[in-house]
């Protein structure tokens, strides 16, 4: 199990770091306050004459320039892998499965080592040095 854990971490570690960074960037961009729209931007984005917001929908005024100058949709597409097409989505999906594998195999290896130490009568804590 350790061999698989070690080799898969080398392959998927880079992808998992990329997914982590783009996920954090996604939240930074989403939470960063956007600049208020200028009067010219509001005038250019006004709905056509006679437009009424559909019932049950919430129509809001256009936002200003995206936070930090980064488009949230683009960051989301990077994070989900859709910018890389089908292959990008497959790699992101496999990295998610690899993360699940790392969690389960790491816990399994820890429990085996903990039981082996307990059977030998060594230190009894959950963590050891």
| Rounded Cα gap, residues 123 and 114, in angstroms | 9
Whether 82 is covered by a domain: the verdict is: yes
Whether 111 is covered by a domain: the verdict is: yes
pLDDT at residue 127 in the model = 67
Whether 128 is covered by a domain: the verdict is: no
Whether 51 is covered by a domain: the verdict is: no
Whether 73 is covered by a domain: the verdict is: yes
Full residue range of the structural domain in which residue 14 is found: 2-40+63-119
In order along its 129 residues, the chain shows pLDDT tens digits of: 777 777 777 788 888 888 888 888 888 877 776 666 667 666 666 666 777 777 887 776 555 566 666 777 888 888 888 888 899 889 888 888 888 888 888 888 888 888 888 888 776 666 665
pLDDT at residue 46 in the model = 66
Whether 100 is covered by a domain: the verdict is: yes
| Rounded Cα gap, residues 73 and 113, in angstroms | 45
pLDDT at residue 87 in the model = 92
| Rounded Cα gap, residues 36 and 42, in angstroms | 10
**8: CB partners within 8 A, 6+ apart:** 98, 101, 102
Nearest residue to 92 (alpha-carbon basis) of 34, 3, 21, 25: 21
> Could you tell me the two tokens for 26?
């996604």
Whether 102 is covered by a domain: the verdict is: yes
Task: State pTM to two decimals.
Answer: 0.55
Whether 53 is covered by a domain: the verdict is: no
Domains identified in the chain, total number? 1
**Cα radius of gyration rounded to whole Å, the chain:** 24
């Amino acid at each position: 199990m350790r061999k698989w854990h070690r080799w898969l971490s080398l392959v998927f570690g880079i992808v998992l770091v990329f997914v982590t960074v783009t996920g954090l960037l996604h939240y930074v961009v989403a939470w960063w306050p956007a600049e208020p729209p200028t009067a010219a931007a509001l005038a250019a984005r006004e709905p056509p004459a006679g437009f009424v917001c559909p019932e049950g929908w919430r129509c809001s005024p256009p936002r200003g320039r995206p936070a930090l100058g980064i488009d949230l949709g683009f960051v989301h597409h990077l994070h989900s892998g859709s910018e890389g097409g089908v292959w990008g989505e497959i790699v992101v999906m496999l990295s998610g499965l690899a993360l699940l594998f790392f969690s389960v195999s790491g816990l399994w290896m820890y429990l085996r080592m903990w039981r082996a130490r307990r059977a030998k009568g060594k230190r009894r804590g959950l963590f050891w040095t």
